[in-house]
Structure 1
Amino acid sequence: METKKTTKWKLLALAAMLSAGSASAADQGNSNINQYYTGAAPVTAEEGEIVYDDVDYSADNMAASFYGDEAQSLQPVAFVGDHQGSSVPTPAPMMNDPYAMSTGSGCSTGDCGNSSYEMASSCGSACGGSCGECSKRPRRKMLQKTDMWMTAEALLWFTQARSTTPLITQNAAGAAPERDIAGTTSVFGGDEAIGGDLSAGFRLDFGKNLSDDFGVGGRFWWLSESSEDASSGGIVDGTANSFGRPFYDTNIPSENSILIANTGVAGSDDFEGSFTAESSLDIYAAEAYARMKMLSGSGFRTDLIGGFSHFGIDDTLSVNSTSIQTTAAIGGLIGDQTDISDLIETENRFFGGQIGFESQINRGKWSFKTLTKVHLGNMEQIYRGSGVRTFTTGGVPTDSTNGGVLAMGDTFNTTALDEDKFTFAPEANVKLAYQFRPNVSMSVGYSFIYWDDVLLAGDNINNVYNGDAITTPPAALAQPASERKDSSLYTHGIDLGCVIDF
């Protein structure tokens, strides 16, 4: 019976040891330490975890630190219930390791003369005496979390292609460049013909954790100008192609065009001339936000995001043309010149709030982050337009009047066309990061943002008027009233960044 009792105690002891080992392994598996470093303490441990400072965690150095430079085998551990001894053997004193310190008169009890280390238990109560040279284990300390962050990213984004009516058209020599004539194509403008190319930019995100559960931050991003342009490259005579500025003539009524350069077009004198056209889009954003922890667990965390948002979206469209008469068979004089300039600018200023969620999952040195939120607020829409015609006869300007092909008059000094509209802008970001050194990660991600209500220049062109007045000074242009048109806009692309925690 005694033998059976001893066996039960052995089994119970073994089960307890296995249970303790499993619990320890589970604790280690559930820790939020992202990785271990050779030669430095793990710097991403949870607050309150005990770590060693200034310790080389490589297997060889750990063995040398705790058991000496010379190879030593581990002492067997006594089994509970066996008759192999009454106590667990004590490991040999740690001698001649990287933390060894010669004893002397400066040695004091308890810390071996250095407050950074504790005395090994085998050294006794003091450094002197028969202990001689004594190694110390590093004093354990509590590792604090990083409480600030900064992310710098390069943006490689594509902005939605924008649409206009055809602004510069061309056809073969001898054919009018009018939209309703076969062979006419658009040189500049058209349906989704402007923009859509890659734009570079940058994004900064920085902030501070005020507690484990709450932090504040700021975010700013900017995209370089997304532009599209076309040019005749100087004066062209129309012998290769005819060029014009199309419009709808209410006098015909039908499609018509202001001839820039043409040769042999029926019912018209010949012209030579030039043109330039350009469209540009600028976008920037500034945000201030707070974040509060909602969920957390082993290797993951979800925060509630809320704060203030501001966006700026500026769209500019300009078209300039010069037409010089080279024949006078129908009317006018050779050398008569018509210069027409149009400029349309729209500004969109969003002021509002944001709300959303940010989640992060950590697995070793890798982390995956998602950010989804929506911006809600007021979009201030501003329209500014200017059109000017200048006529020159005999080399001397004879008249200049408001009104071009795209913009009637000058609206830069009025706010009558400005409006405020409530709008929303959903945003989504995903990011994969790799921590290649303590507190520093490199990331690659994807971003998407969409604005529901934006005023764009190309949507607010009204090139419908009485065509017989466009080149006959000083007749006024008559144009039907047009309505403001709002549209949506989105931008998306790749983010390449560096994340620094400190």
Structure 2
Amino acid sequence: MFRRNRAIAALLITLIGLSVPATAQTPATATPDTAYRQKGKWVGYVPSYQKYSQPKSDGVFRSSLPDVTSFLTRSTDRQVKAATAEEPLKESAELFEGALLDNEETGAQPRVLAVGFDEPTPALDPAVDAAPMYDPGADMYDSGAELIGDACSTGCGPCAASPAACCPPPRFYGTADYLLWWTDSMNAPPLVSTGILNQAGTSILFGGSGLEADAVSGGRFTLGMWLDPCQMQGVEASYFMLGTRTASFGASDADYAILGRPFYNTVQEQEDVRWIVSPGLVTGAVAVTASTKFDGGELLFRQAVQRECWAEIDLLVGYRWLQLEEGLLIEENTESVPAGTTYDLFDEFDTRNSFHGSEVGMAIRRQIGYCWSLELLAKAALGNVSSTVAIDGQTTITTTAPPGFTVNDEGLLTQYTNIGRYERDKLAAATELGVKLRRAFGNGIDLTIGYTFLYLSDVLRPGDQIDVAVDERQLSPESLREGVRYPQFSFRSDGFWAQGLSLGIEGRF
């Protein structure tokens, strides 16, 4: 028993003796388990792989942010201690992933420098402006205007602030355009000549083709309103008018030795002429005036189908009205030789065409520069054109013998067989094509220059309603007019176009 206790005591003394030298060893022989940190320094031995390693965060940068590594630069304004043998200077700092905290600026993340400091020290680059964030489902407008859901901001800068210049317009807009347009020439048969047609030496002085006229000025005015703050739906009303376009001709015995008004004689079945100037027979003068007046209007609903900074597409649907009023007046004054009887005569043909129809169309705008945009327009309308033709004529005969003068309600090409008022309704179509170049000047003011082509498929025009076939018995007393059928009236339709340039100004408010 004593011997066993003695062996146990010897073993305990041996173990105690071994533990005392271990605590006196230098840090170079200490075990890792005895190393610890105190006041920012290592106490005991720690391997270098452990001493210089740092924990990494599980956070990651948001994918919507730009690559922040492009913003990182080495800090040059930090004061660092000299590197020691145990802590060698590292050539580059390590970038550790980390998550942005609330209220933290978008920019470089902390990087750790181990250059002689007792502890890893974060070095931050200067803060940069927050990167633009994209909200899925939102349309971004330049200069900070953002459309989110049903709310649209108005933080748009001036045109020169950016190449896009895509700020949405205010709620209301209006335009005023100066128009310089040409209209389709009126056709008419030969109305004034130097003799009987188809004979040698005879020339047509007026008529026989389109009655040419100069361009005419006019105006076009538009007022529109967006129904929602995001400019997706709107209504607009517009009206245009052209001044009266006139083609005229006048001649007398002072201008021509022979002057006449040609017609086809149905009794003799050959070309004939009513003399205005003929030596030894009659002297006089003749004047012809053709006039055209064109105007119209629209009431449209606009529906946006595409809204982007550089392109817009709108569908149009609504009502179209067009009106074409024309007249052709032929006047003559002759005096017979030598009897002294005078004839004052006129033939008048007037037409009026009113189109009413439903219209659809498309408007496209494309940005082509900082403040320039190109607009294309196409519209088509289908509806009814109501046409009216009024034919009138009169001859006043003044003689030196009683009863002095006589008035007959007929002229040369207007007789009782065709004088009257005629109306009809017919299906017709109207088409409009346009292009416009726009220059924005800021403050809601734009200047525009454009071209427009407008076509109406079916109209009645004065020159087409003239029948040059005349029964010479019409010029006789009424008792001799039995069986007379000429001149006749029949509806003769044609198309009509108008086209020209525009120079305008648009304001948004």
**Fold conserved (TM > 0.5)?**
yes
Q: Does 1:147 align with 2:171?
A: yes
Q: Distance in 1 between matches of 2:387 and 2:492?
A: 11
1:81 is aligned with what amino acid? R
Contact kept in structure 2, 1:440 and 1:499, CA below 8 Å: yes
Q: What is the aligned counterpart of 1:310 among 316, 321, 332? A: 321
Contact kept in structure 1, 2:440 and 2:447, CA below 8 Å: yes
SS of the equivalent of 2:244 reads strand
Q: Does 1:389 align with 2:408?
A: no
Q: What is the aligned counterpart of 1:437 among 442, 445, 458? A: 442
Equivalent pairs counted in the alignment come to 374
Q: TM-score, normalised by structure 2?
A: 0.67
1:441 is aligned with what amino acid? D
Q: CA deviation at 1:252?
A: 1.4
Q: What is the aligned counterpart of 1:459 among 464, 481, 485? A: 464
**How does 1:103-502 map onto structure 2 within 5 Å?**
142=155, 145-170=169-194, 177-192=195-210, 194-211=211-228, 212=230, 213-232=232-251, 236=253, 240-263=256-279, 269-327=280-338, 334-362=339-367, 363-394=369-400, 397-409=404-416, 415=421, 417-467=422-472, 469-470=474-475, 476=481, 478-502=485-509
Q: Distance in 1 between matches of 2:500 and 2:53?
A: 71
Q: Distance in 1 between matches of 2:328 and 2:213?
A: 15
2:490 is aligned with what amino acid? E
For structure 1, the 5+ residue unaligned runs are 23-76, 92-139, 171-176, 264-268, 328-333
Q: CA deviation at 1:474?
A: 7.8
SS of the equivalent of 2:301 reads strand
SS of the equivalent of 1:404 reads coil
Q: Which residue of the partner structure matches residue 110 of structure 1?
A: none
1:178 is aligned with what amino acid? I
Q: CA deviation at 1:429?
A: 0.8
Q: What is the aligned counterpart of 2:111 among 67, 75, 81? A: 81
Change (3 A) 1:398 1:90: closer
Change (3 A) 1:257 1:300: same
2:237 is aligned with what amino acid? G
Q: Distance in 1 between matches of 2:127 and 2:321?
A: 67
Change (3 A) 1:261 1:290: same
2:336 is aligned with what amino acid? Q
Q: TM-score, normalised by structure 1?
A: 0.68
Change (3 A) 1:392 1:368: same
2:261 is aligned with what amino acid? R
Change (3 A) 1:364 1:242: same
Q: Distance in 2 between matches of 1:21 and 1:163?
A: 78
1:434 is aligned with what amino acid? R
Change (3 A) 1:397 1:364: farther
Identity of aligned residues (%): 23
Q: Distance in 1 between matches of 2:330 and 2:182?
A: 24
1:248 is aligned with what amino acid? Y
Tell which structure's C-alpha radius of gyration is larger: 2
Q: Distance in 1 between matches of 2:375 and 2:404?
A: 64
Q: Distance in 2 between matches of 1:405 and 1:20?
A: 93
Q: Distance in 2 between matches of 1:241 and 1:436?
A: 62
Contact kept in structure 2, 1:387 and 1:410, CA below 8 Å: no
Root-mean-square deviation (CA, aligned residues, Å) is 3.3
Partner deviation per Cα, 1:98-119 (whole Å, 9 max, x = no partner): xxxxxxxxxxxxxxxxxxxxxx
Change (3 A) 1:159 1:344: same
Q: Distance in 2 between matches of 1:422 and 1:17?
A: 62
